[in-house]
Structure 1
């Protein structure tokens, strides 16, 4: 089993080829997978300039504003203002999406899942919870501090796991605390950017 702690401040920063922003990859599974063959991937992107999102055929995407003024996402099937922090928005990775800034820089949390290999959810919790058992996933503190697995996660800190089912009890350790929860289940366990590389 892989169980890995991380701090957002220590994640490597990769500039986009078009100069429009940067990406911090949190986890890409399986280990060594690239953008064409991952099962699930979590990253944090800072968008400095508008433009088209990269197209990922067969991938389900969820994006969530962390900081900044946000962005407007436009496609044939939707026109969405991602301007409220910690509210996930899901869309198909094959959609042609144009992104425009609503103000200054926007920093976003991004989940991508290859739908043929499994299913994933992204949600934000703000109170004591016992999470459903899942074999892969990620927890990251968005605000405040959290008691997780006998330890404490401060803001910007997190843990991800892969390869063995885990059941977590998470408890806020400060007022107004919020925690991002990603859970991925492989297909056999699931219940019945040259553009903007986010």
Structure 2
């Protein structure tokens, strides 16, 4: 299990000047692609998202007044509740419109047809499944894994076999859990649910 603190991650500004990204984890795939990628992005201005053909995306509001995501021929979606995930195709030409000032989101991307992510709020202990991948991002409270204590904006991720668990230590502890599984294995041996 690997740990992260978003405040300590390197910042990469977007080419269009509309925000920045802090990469948490990147699991390399075949060629120059990835199997899955997790990051935290700050959306600082209205504008287009970068296209990611063949990729499925799930973003979850972490802080701020929210953002409306829209694309031609699909209904717009307002992302206004912290901790509520929204999934969409990276093929779509998505445009972001801020509800107020800048907002911060957790962004999970998976290669369509090979990998899939299930993102949800949790207040329960998280234990990685054998062969599974995933991430836990602390929204509130205090969590612990081994000797490591995690607070808001921190978390843990794993890729493949990992031992241990991440346990909430206080009644107000809430986190986002992203389970990432290989959907090509129909027997479910590599699933994380």
Regarding TM over 0.5, the answer is yes
Structure with bigger RCO (C-alpha 8 Å, 6+ apart): 1
Q: Please, what TM-score do these two structures have when normalized by structure 2?
A: 0.86
Among 127, 136, 141, the alignment partner of 1:139 is 136
Unpaired segments of 5 or more residues in structure 2?
Answer: 189-193
The Cα shift of 1:151 comes to: 3.9
1:41-63 CA distance string (max 9 Å, x none): 01111111111111111111101
Please, what is the CA RMSD of the aligned residues? 2.3
Give the distance between the partners of 2:126 and 2:157, measured in 1 at CA. Answer: 17
The Cα shift of 1:22 comes to: 0.8
Q: Contact 2:130–2:160 (CA<8 Å) still a contact in 1?
A: no
1:114-138 CA distance string (max 9 Å, x none): 0132222111102345565552111
Among 44, 68, 74, the alignment partner of 2:70 is 74
Unpaired segments of 5 or more residues in structure 1?
Answer: 193-198
Question: Are positions 1:41 and 2:18 aligned together?
Answer: no
- The equivalent residue for 1:122 is 119
- Aligned to 1:78, the other structure's residue is in SS state strand
- Aligned to 2:155, the other structure's residue is in SS state strand
- The equivalent residue for 1:196 is none
Give the distance between the partners of 2:9 and 2:64, measured in 1 at CA. Answer: 19
After superposition, where does 1:1-198 map in structure 2 within 5 Å? 3-30=1-28, 37-75=33-71, 76-128=73-125, 132-149=129-146, 151-164=148-161, 166=162, 169-189=165-185
The Cα shift of 1:170 comes to: 3.8
